[in-house]
Amino acid sequence: MTRLLLVRHAPTPETGTRLTGRAGNVSLGPKGEAHARATAARLASTRIKAVYTSPITRTSETAGIIAEAHGLTPILREGLTEIDFGAWTGRTLKSLRRITLWGQVQRVPSRVRFPDGESFIEAQLRAVDAVERIAADVGKATAIVVSHSDVIKLILAHYLGQPLDLFQRLHISTTSVSELILPKGGSPMVGAVNDRGRSDW
């Protein structure tokens, strides 16, 4: 049985106000680092085989802090990276909410492709593929996977059998932990979603 703890990155100064997306060099900052260290403390007593991360700065920084507590080095996986928001990258959420496409992102995301970017369907396919490959590498052990809100929601929606158009009903907070269990030859199970306080993983 493979157990994956899906962790959203710690907050950056832009979290909640701007669609950072794949923009480079957006670091956690002191507040984000403090949140990442608190999450690392929550997971410190858990036996971890490996820590995997999206290559984006805010995720790799979060993963590095968590991995340090286990004497591990994070493993980069491109499939875990943030959605390519294309021309929307770097724009404020306030400005995006005035665009017609924003409503479709919320109500019918399966029909959305971001301008000059990727679609939610493409993002889900490559994220689930990344998780399956990680599960094959990890085997009967526990691993931490550090990624992004929408990517984690898309992964969970897939294993819950939830239609893509309903994936926005899931909420994933910064530094929250969601548990995905993948038994070999058995049915996937989601053990927790968006947990922000548990320390007995």
Query: Could you tell me the residue ranges of all domains in the chain?
Result: 2-195
From CA 167, how far away is CA 25, in angstroms rounded?
Answer: 28
What pLDDT does 185 receive? 83
Q: Is 197 exposed, middle or buried (0-12, 13-18, 19+ CB in 10 A)?
A: exposed
- The domain made up of 2-195 has a fold known as Rossmann fold (3.40.50)
What pLDDT does 104 receive? 96
- 62 within 8 A of 82, measured Cβ to Cβ: no
From CA 28, how far away is CA 114, in angstroms rounded?
Answer: 25
| pLDDT average, residue stretch 34-38 | 97
The structure tokens listed for 73 are 């080095």
- 92 within 8 A of 85, measured Cβ to Cβ: no
| pLDDT average, residue stretch 88-95 | 96
What pLDDT does 118 receive? 98
Q: Note if the pTM is more than 0.75.
A: yes
Confidence of residue 169 (pLDDT cuts 50, 70, 90): very high
The structure tokens listed for 182 are 């993948």
